[in-house]
Amino acid sequence: MKKTKKKTALLVSTLVISMLFSGCGKKKETTEAETTTSAIDIKPVATMDGDAEDISILSREGYIISDLTGEWIDEKYENMKPFCIMINNISDAMPQSGISQAAITYEILVEGGITRFLCVFDHYDDIEKLGPIRSARVPHVQLAKMFDGFYAHYGWSPSAQEMIESDPSIASLNGIVLGEIMYYRSDDKPAPHNVFTNSELIASGIEYKGYDYKHSDNYEKMFSFNTKDKPLENGEPGKKVCTAFSDSRTPTFEYNEADGRYYRYQYGDKQIDAVTGEQLSYKNVIIMMVEYTTDEEGYYHFVSWRDSNLYAYYFTDGQYVKVNWKMVNGVPKYFYEDGTELRLNPGNTFVTVFDYTIPAAIVIE
């Protein structure tokens, strides 16, 4: 892989930060520039909350609890690799299709201040239309590997190509190789924003590549969950949060008291799933502070997944808490200051992977 160089900490000037605020609003903005709240003394916990009142519901005939949502899913999906896919997220790609079905969605910088999603599905045999799909980038490849999942993409950056071709454990489903076996182009969007797939084609691509659906023996679960919805202890009000990647990229989540979900807005409007016609919404929102770096041309973004004791914000039920994150057995996990692992409320999750050098570009109301 090409040698990377550290991104300059003062990447964004005071003037640009002011512009970012104008896109997010004027309420409470974060100002912490530290990389940690305290040293983490990890206290292991079970994957699910083991309160006595909940033990009786931890077994349900014909079902298992999803590693990705903490919700019940059919037992036929037990120990099955998730499906991870690279989703276009620029204005020309709107509205996207099928992404509301994802268990977890990551938003990560790629280049020029734009972002792409990695959508992660715990089951994928009921997808009508999914896309538009774009090329691989290194952070997305790394995450797909952490999930021990299939990784669907159409093309790749040079750095991502080098990573994928040098690591046989990455279950790549590249449209450049698979073409019409797994992907198709629609006529409702211009290229390159018109590549899609569906459940039947996904199965064809996996079969063509000869991949095993079962998790590898060293698979490590990334998240822990409560068995039922629980309010945060010592949470602060967090009913709206904006993450200003740039002056033109200011996506926002707004909490709806009626259903307890965070609804997503970007490009000045609701973000809609074209298949359902409904606005994207999430039970959990995480803003994960990371160190971004670039390649020698300063073009392709990387994420330093490292034991740096960086922090994150976790939003649920209209409140938020600040937590630490740390790599444990090759995957990022989240911890309170006392070392207790964070348990998410059951449901889908959106993770914003954000540049730790510009914490003031996060505005919480």
Question: How many domains is the chain partitioned into structurally?
Answer: 1
CATH of the domain at 294: 3.50.90.10
Domain residue limits at 161: 1-365
CA distance linking residue 350 with residue 52, whole number of Å? 29
Torsion on CA atoms 234, 50, 317, 326, rounded to nearest 10: 70
CA distance linking residue 7 with residue 312, whole number of Å? 20
The number of residues in the chain equals 365
Per-residue pLDDT of the chain (365 residues; tens, 9 = 90+): 444 444 333 333 334 444 455 568 655 555 554 444 444 444 444 445 445 444 445 788 999 999 999 999 999 999 999 999 999 999 999 999 999 999 999 999 998 889 999 999 999 999 999 999 999 999 999 999 999 999 999 999 999 999 999 999 999 999 999 999 999 999 989 899 999 999 999 999 999 999 999 999 999 999 999 999 999 999 999 999 999 998 888 999 999 999 999 999 999 999 999 999 999 999 999 999 999 988 776 677 889 887 667 999 999 999 999 999 999 999 999 999 999 999 999 999 999 999 999 999 999 99
Sequence-ordered alpha helix ranges (H) in 275-330: none
Contact (CB, 8 A) for 196 and 132? yes
